[in-house]
Amino acid sequence: MMIDFVGKKKIFFSISIALMAIILISTFIFGVNLAIEFKGGTLITYSYSGELDKGEFQSLVESTLGESVSLQESADIRTGKNNLVISLASTSGISSEQQSALSQAVIERFADNELESVSISNVDASIGGEFLAKSLVAVAVASLLLVVYIALRFKRISGWSAGIFSVVALIHDVIIVYGVFLLFRISIDSNFMAVVLTILGYSINDTIVIYDRIRENRRTFGNKYNVRELVNRSVNQCLGRTINTTISSVLALAAISVITLIFHVDSIVSFAFPMMIGMASGVFSSVCLVPCLWVTWQEYSAKKKEAAQK
């Protein structure tokens, strides 16, 4: 059975527009949760042994410093101890008196856990801003090169439009990944850019495979099929490969997400989970959005050319 993807384009477009609207509205309602590397702040790390009540620890830190903090847990493979990383969003950092008061308070309260101060560092927001700017430039340059590459490789099927719609789909995937970070209140940090750059490569691969199939089918069948039939046939031929590849990748990422969530390895969860959703979005954009956008443009161009000839 052949699925009529192009015939369902209004459904696909509506889903994408609805998701974009939800993410945009949520941005204004909830705000963007930037990590301290982008907005500046202080990182304080304590090592401990045994079982420790993280909620009580965070409450003690906040009452001592008089500010809200976020808390992450990690493991030190070298020492075998667990670490608690306190993130304090502040452009001025904390004074030596505050550091001493905090260390004294937590060490006294959790004396049985052998707490030790491992490190304290102030993060300059300008460094994170520079990293973000360079990452965005990298994404922009990569997108431009993709348009040129696809335009040259698929010039037999109107390569420039194919390249532009591929980048439109990539922007869609980036917004979906951003939405995952936003709605699940995951701090936007270096992991966000890592996920985005990885998804760009993953998503464009599926899109190129579909374009390649369209080109080969046009070469094989000539004008036997109109543009809608040609695209539907090409997408259906690639569907099994695309879905199987994605399922295997998503299952691996889901397993990683569950295991790291159980062991509180937040730095890996904040990469694996958005990556999993981003891969699903990449399949949706490559299979459902790009072909439909390309067909819509081809039909519009054909009608415009026909009207001009009349």
Its CATH class, for the domain covering 41-123, is alpha beta
Of 67-71, 107-111, 154-158, 273-277, which range is least confident? 67-71
pTM of full prediction above 0.85: no
With contact defined as beta carbons under 8 Å apart, do 118 and 83 qualify? yes
pLDDT tens profile 130-184? 777 887 788 888 888 888 888 888 988 888 899 999 999 999 999 999 999 999 9
From-to residues of CATH 3.30.70.3220 in the chain: 41-123
Q: DSSP H helical segments within the chain, as ranges?
A: 9-30, 36-39, 54-65, 96-109, 125-153, 159-183, 190-221, 227-262, 266-284, 290-309
From-to residues of CATH 1.20.1640.10 in the chain: 127-303
Its CATH class, for the domain covering 127-303, is mainly alpha
**CA gap 18, 33 in Å, rounded:** 22
